[in-house]
């Protein structure tokens, strides 16, 4: 296999064969030779073409950084390609790059919108009484409730056989209630905003609202038991 200059068809049968050789190489030295000699330049060209053709630019990143980041990600996924399934490496690699870039752009947008919208959302919700929830009667200090709740959450999350989403929500709840001052409504007593908590859980866990509500079920009885214990002591 001789190294050929890139032409209009920069990823054709020779590159497809190079991918097969790369995947079946027995050592990383062999893989590096194949990659550097036959695949690196075509992959660079492919990613450049995808970014420009589909305008997959990321805010606050220049073209070189976007390109380098995408190429690095692709290299980590190359081993998953299975030539025996009859697919072309070009299509497989191109799809990986497009999906990765679109996913990163969506993540960038979510992060940016979260920074912009959180204060607006939290302020408007905090002003609405119907979204507020009273933890306990005013005779019990919020700090006492939260301290006990955090300890119980830690014990419960570690000791019980929770599914993946429940465990994830457990650790998110611990983080939320360790910073409970951020969710209390100033001057409103022992009240916090249910929607703000849900918003925080959604952002922290990456789960949908439906998944969060389902994952919260094991923790509701824990809260009720804690309330009863504190009231009756």
Domain assignments of the chain as residue spans, ordered by start: 13-109, 128-232
What CA–CA distance (Å, rounded) separates 129 from 193?
9
Tens of pLDDT, residue by residue over 97-106, are: 998 898 888 8
Of 211, 106, 192, nearest in space to 145 by CA: 192
The predicted structure's pLDDT at residue 20: 95
**What average pLDDT does the structure give for the chain?**
77
- Is 223 a residue whose pLDDT tops 80? no
The residue assigned the tokens 């001052």 is 181
Give the best-scoring range by mean pLDDT among 38-42, 156-160, 171-175. Answer: 38-42
Within 10 angstroms of residue 54's Cβ, the number of other Cβ atoms is 12
Which carries the bigger pLDDT value, residue 119 or residue 227? 227
The predicted structure's pLDDT at residue 134: 46
Q: What is the average pLDDT across 64-83?
A: 92
Q: How confident is the model at residue 192 (pLDDT cuts 50, 70, 90)?
A: low
What CA–CA distance (Å, rounded) separates 11 from 231?
71
The predicted structure's pLDDT at residue 187: 37
What CA–CA distance (Å, rounded) separates 183 from 9?
57
- Range in 6-15, 22-31, 78-87, 213-222 with the lowest mean pLDDT: 6-15
Q: How confident is the model at residue 135 (pLDDT cuts 50, 70, 90)?
A: very low
Q: What is the average pLDDT across 93-99?
A: 91
- Is 27 a residue whose pLDDT tops 80? yes
What CA–CA distance (Å, rounded) separates 138 from 150?
19
Q: How confident is the model at residue 230 (pLDDT cuts 50, 70, 90)?
A: low
Which carries the bigger pLDDT value, residue 9 or residue 8? 9
Tens of pLDDT, residue by residue over 110-127, are: 766 655 444 454 444 444
The predicted structure's pLDDT at residue 194: 62
- On whether the CB atoms of residues 99 and 50 are closer than 8 A, the answer is no
Q: How confident is the model at residue 147 (pLDDT cuts 50, 70, 90)?
A: confident
What CA–CA distance (Å, rounded) separates 99 from 187?
47
């Amino acid at each position: 296999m001789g190294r050929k200059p890139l032409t209009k068809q920069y990823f054709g049968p020779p590159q497809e064969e190079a991918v097969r050789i790369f995947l079946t190489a027995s050592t990383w030295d062999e893989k590096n030779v194949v990659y550097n000699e036959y695949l690196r330049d075509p992959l660079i060209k492919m990613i450049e073409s995808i970014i420009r053709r589909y305008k997959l630019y990321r805010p606050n990143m220049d073209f070189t950084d976007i390109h380098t980041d995408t190429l690095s990600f692709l290299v980590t996924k190359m081993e998953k390609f299975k030539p025996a399934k009859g697919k072309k490496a070009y299509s497989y690699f191109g799809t990986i790059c497009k999906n990765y870039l679109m996913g990163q752009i969506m993540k960038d947008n979510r992060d940016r919108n979260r920074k912009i919208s959180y204060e607006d959302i939290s302020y408007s919700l905090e002003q609405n009484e119907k979204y507020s929830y009273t933890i306990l009667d005013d005779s019990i200090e919020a700090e006492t409730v939260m301290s006990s709740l955090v300890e119980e959450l830690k014990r419960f999350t570690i000791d019980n056989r929770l599914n993946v989403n429940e465990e994830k929500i457990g650790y998110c709840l611990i983080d939320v209630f360790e910073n409970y001052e951020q969710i209390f409504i100033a001057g409103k007593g022992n009240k916090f905003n249910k929607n703000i908590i849900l918003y925080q859980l959604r952002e922290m866990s990456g789960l949908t609202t439906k998944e969060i509500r389902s994952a919260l079920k094991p923790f509701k009885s824990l809260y009720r038991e804690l309330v009863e214990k504190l009231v009756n002591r």
